[in-house]
Amino acid sequence: MPAEREAATLSETKASAAEHSRRKLVVGLGNPGIEYQFTWHNLGFLTVDRLADRHGARIENRRSRSLTGKCRLGKQEVLLAKPETYMNLSGLAVRELVQELEADPAKDLVVVYDELDLPQGIIRVRERGSAGGHHGMESIIGALGTLEFPRIRLGIHPGREVGDGAKYVLSQIKKSQLEAVDEQIDRAADAVEAIFEEGIAAAMNRFNRKASGEAAAE
């Protein structure tokens, strides 16, 4: 092998190893406090809790304005995080976590959050994109200075007029809805695992298929 090719191959191998060795970060969005635990705005928190349950993590360490816990997803070491800054200041915590881990948001970060523009029960995996009016995502995009990071959106729109959207997202999930929400959180956790085990493209292909009767607008 010519010296130039050998050097290039070695450089690529080192870069790949460095990327693989960086700890990945999964952030679920929500509001801290028992009064918010089972509100629509906390589906991100609930998804992180589900991942922790599956993989034997304990979300109890405080670092970078977040509650965190470690686990492995596929071959990746992952830090699960729930910001304690309240939703509208989520970016402060996420920026500190990204800096602490020396993470590349485009390759190492996944954010999970509720989405009022999607029907209840639907999940969508995206590689990048705008905040779409979600204040937690607006905070993260502003703090990181980029739209380029994967995210999983969990639909919460009930299919009827909700009036004050800010009030609705902070409303309690009804007992009659808990089973469906539990299934949605399970699929969101599956999607996070798929991103790390199969890649973002495969996860998008698997989880972004339109369900029968689903509204086309997103």
Burial 157-177 (b: 16+ CB within 10 A, else e): beeeebeeeeebbbeebeeeb
Could you tell me the end-to-end alpha-carbon distance of the chain, in angstroms, rounded to an integer?
51
Which of the residues 41, 134, 135, 157 is marked catalytic? 41
* 41 noted as active-site residue: yes
Please enumerate in sequence order all residues whose Cβ is within 8 A of that of 193, keeping only pairs 6 or more positions apart, or say none.
Answer: 51, 73, 74
Distance from C-alpha of 126 to C-alpha of 202, rounded to nearest angstrom: 11
Q: Which residues are identified as catalytic?
A: 41
